[in-house]
Amino acid sequence: MDVGVIGLGRMGRGMAASLVRAGHRVRVWNRSPGAAEGLAGAIPVAEAAEAFAGDAAITMLADDAALRAVIVEGGLLDKADRPGLHLSMSTISVALAGELAAIHSRAGVPYIAAPVFGRPDVAEAGALNIVAAGDPEGMARARPLFEAMGSRTWPFGDAPQRANAVKLAGNFMLVSAIEAMGEAAAFAEGHGVSGADLLDLLTNTLFASPVYKNYGALIAAQRYEPPGFNLKLGAKDIGLALAAAESAGVPMPFAEVLRDNLVAAMGQGDADKDLAALAEVARRAGGPRSPTG
């Protein structure tokens, strides 16, 4: 397929590379042109409109503001040359997803929300889990692209914003797991037990799942740089989850705790560190201690 990719952060680069590897013709655009350097096989273009064309366009931008600026304020849906399909793969608000679905419907461009679970190395390997919702015909046409970028696609119906709700629910659970591990490690250290040893035990027994094992290893080693997914993006996602919860009349009291701790972590200079650095909030609150006594 002839596909454009807009947004070449660490996730977008890996996704574009996976598409190239699968044999698709891939045009790429990023607000910082240098991001396309070294992306073998991809075709850099000078304007976003040149990527928002062809059989399909994929957007993988940082947040609501970036996506709105490029697609809506940039007038891409008003251009004569538009894509046959738009796959919005960014983590954005449920509200913006609903707005974009309506705008695309008026423009006659099928809109599929397809946020992903996976870190940059997973994107590079083409092994993402893709959460997708939207027009059934568009979903069928997107299948070759999903297969190139992911190990499995999880469909959630024909209302695109449902996929974004699922993504935010998943990220809420992920941040909750990191908070729980951070608090548990600090608690253990307060009683003379190595936090690293505790996490080694628990992530290989009761909590032997990828999220606990991968983030547990980062917390145990206090290895927060370079980030795979930085803490300020995690804070953004918790904020989006809280806004969506309020609009649906659903209380999320623990999400409010997470937001406060993420703000505290950013105040300590951890905004650009890996999300696992959230664990340091509990460790700092407990004060300096020897992990063994």
Q: Tens of pLDDT along 20-42?
A: 999 999 999 999 888 999 899 99
Q: Is 171 exposed, middle or buried (0-12, 13-18, 19+ CB in 10 A)?
A: buried
167 flagged as catalytic: yes
* Kind and range of the H or E run holding 25: strand 25-29
Strand partners, 153: 130
Which pLDDT value is given to residue 289?
61
d(CA 166, CA 159): 12
Inform me whether the pLDDT recorded for 243 exceeds 80. Answer: yes
Architecture of domain 165-286: Orthogonal Bundle (1.10)
User: What distance in Å separates the CA atoms of residue 65 and residue 129, rounded to the nearest whole number?
Assistant: 25
Mean local confidence (pLDDT), 196-214 = 97
For 123-129, what is the mean pLDDT? Answer: 98
Catalytic choice (167, 232, 236, 273): 167
Q: pTM surpassing 0.85?
A: yes
Q: Which residues on adjacent β-strands are paired with residue 25?
A: 2
What pLDDT sits at residue 284?
94
The identity of residue 265, as a single letter, is A
**Short-list 223, 283, 236, CA closest to 263:** 236
| Sequence ranges of the domains in the chain | 2-158, 165-286
User: With bands split at pLDDT 50, 70 and 90, how would you rate the model's confidence at 287?
Assistant: confident
Say if residue 171's pLDDT is above 70: yes
| pLDDT for residue 288 | 64
CATH architecture assigned to 2-158: 3-Layer(aba) Sandwich (3.40)
What is the rounded distance in angstroms from the CA atom of residue 175 to the CA atom of residue 156?
23
